[in-house]
A = this chain, B = another copy of it.
Amino acid sequence: MDSVAAVRRFNRTVTQRVGALDDRYMARGRPLAQARLLWEIGPGGAEVAELRARLGLDSGYLSRLLRTLEGDGLVTVGPAGRAGGDGRVRVAALTDAGRAEWAELDGRSDDFARSLLAPLPGRRQERLVAAMAEVERLLVASLVVIEPCPPGDPRARVCVRSYARDVSRRFDGGFDPALSRPVHDEELVPPAGVFLLASLNGEPVGCGAVKLHPDAPAEIKRVWVSDTVRGLGVGRRVLDELEKYAAERGWTAVRLDTNRALTEAIAMYRSAGYREIEPFNTEPYAHHWFEKRLAQ
């Protein structure tokens, strides 16, 4: 397959060679990990747990790095500012010297970016920037992770609220959740069902749920994808995971209902093998009902 070769060439030249240069720019005099951490803390400060998640570091290692930066007088680590907050969490903030160092890093990053553009004639610069944006956008698809999540989790709530907002904007006459058939959290917790969350670098960007009705096909609900990642196949992956969940537990069919305004969703269901069926519920906002038989 030729496109695999093309991706490999890209990885080699761009992620490896350019990435190494980027690192070298970033870490002048200071170990790379420290520079990255300092950068990640930023002028606004950051909670330790967040830093750990963003940089993917071991708790002990991060702690030690923070101690080093503190020793150099660049960072202070103290209890979270907000009263009433969790007293265990600590926030790292930059000192004046740290802010200066951060500005230096920021400047260097700018320099490096400019050095990539500089050798190109003007129009090619624009094309490079456009192509980079495209690559970045399309590559995030492979960074989106889909995993089960309690429906009560704040990130799940964010998704469901966004879902309701999107839908009410698109339906004729809006959408009032109170009129729609209710879904209770307990129905989306194993073994009754599951709620899946799609996230990108920890940020929620999509969701979907399935209810495993006893003695009836499983029912798919609340499939939603943030428009920041729309068109990248995330919805389809969520749907696949939900079907897989139901199939593994013995269900042989899934159903769902949807509104005629959601044309892309309908197209996705059809292309995923769903067939339109007679109404199987009395959902007031639904115009179409679909079913798909699951291979065991």
A residues bordering B, Cβ < 8 Å?
Answer: 3-11, 13-19, 22, 109-110, 112-121, 124-129, 131-136, 138-144, 231-234, 236-237
Residues of B within 8 A of A234 (CB): 119
Looking at the complex, which one of B8, B127, B236 makes contact with A110 (CB distance below 8 Å)? B8
- Roughly how many angstroms separate A19 CA and B12 CA in the complex, as a whole number? 9
A132 and chain B: residue at smallest CB distance: B10
By secondary structure, the A interface counts as: helix
A-B contact pairs, 26 of them (CB 8 A): A3-B117, A3-B129, A7-B132, A8-B113, A9-B136, A10-B132, A10-B133, A10-B135, A11-B113, A13-B140, A13-B143, A14-B15, A14-B139, A15-B18, A18-B139, A18-B143, A119-B141, A119-B232, A119-B237, A120-B141, A121-B233, A124-B232, A124-B233, A128-B134, A131-B132, A132-B135
Residues of B within 8 A of A140 (CB): 13
- The answer to whether B142 and A116 touch across the interface, beta carbons within 8 angstroms, is yes
Known: A10-B135, A133-B6, A139-B128. A120 touches B232 (CB 8 A): yes
A255 CB to closest chain B CB, in angstroms? Answer: 24
Residues of B within 8 A of A22 (CB): 11, 15-16
Known: A18-B11, A19-B15. A115 touches B142 (CB 8 A): yes
Known: A7-B129, A118-B142. A16 touches B19 (CB 8 A): yes
Residues of B within 8 A of A113 (CB): 4-5, 7-8, 11
A40 CB to closest chain B CB, in angstroms? Answer: 11
- The answer to whether B119 and A144 touch across the interface, beta carbons within 8 angstroms, is yes
A261 CB to closest chain B CB, in angstroms? Answer: 22
A117 CB to closest chain B CB, in angstroms? Answer: 6
A131 and chain B: residue at smallest CB distance: B134
- The answer to whether B142 and A14 touch across the interface, beta carbons within 8 angstroms, is no
A109 CB to closest chain B CB, in angstroms? Answer: 6
- The answer to whether B139 and A124 touch across the interface, beta carbons within 8 angstroms, is no
Which 4 pairs show the lowest CB-CB distances between chains A and B? A15-B19, A7-B113, A131-B134, A10-B132
Residues of B within 8 A of A135 (CB): 10, 14, 128, 131-132, 135
Residues of B within 8 A of A124 (CB): 138, 141, 231-233
Residues of B within 8 A of A112 (CB): 11
- The answer to whether B127 and A7 touch across the interface, beta carbons within 8 angstroms, is no
Residues of B within 8 A of A143 (CB): 13, 17-18
A7 and chain B: residue at smallest CB distance: B113
- The answer to whether B6 and A129 touch across the interface, beta carbons within 8 angstroms, is yes
Known: A15-B15, A233-B124. A7 touches B117 (CB 8 A): yes
Looking at the complex, which one of B7, B120, B144 makes contact with A138 (CB distance below 8 Å)? B120
- Roughly how many angstroms separate A131 CA and B211 CA in the complex, as a whole number? 40
Residues of B within 8 A of A116 (CB): 7, 139, 142
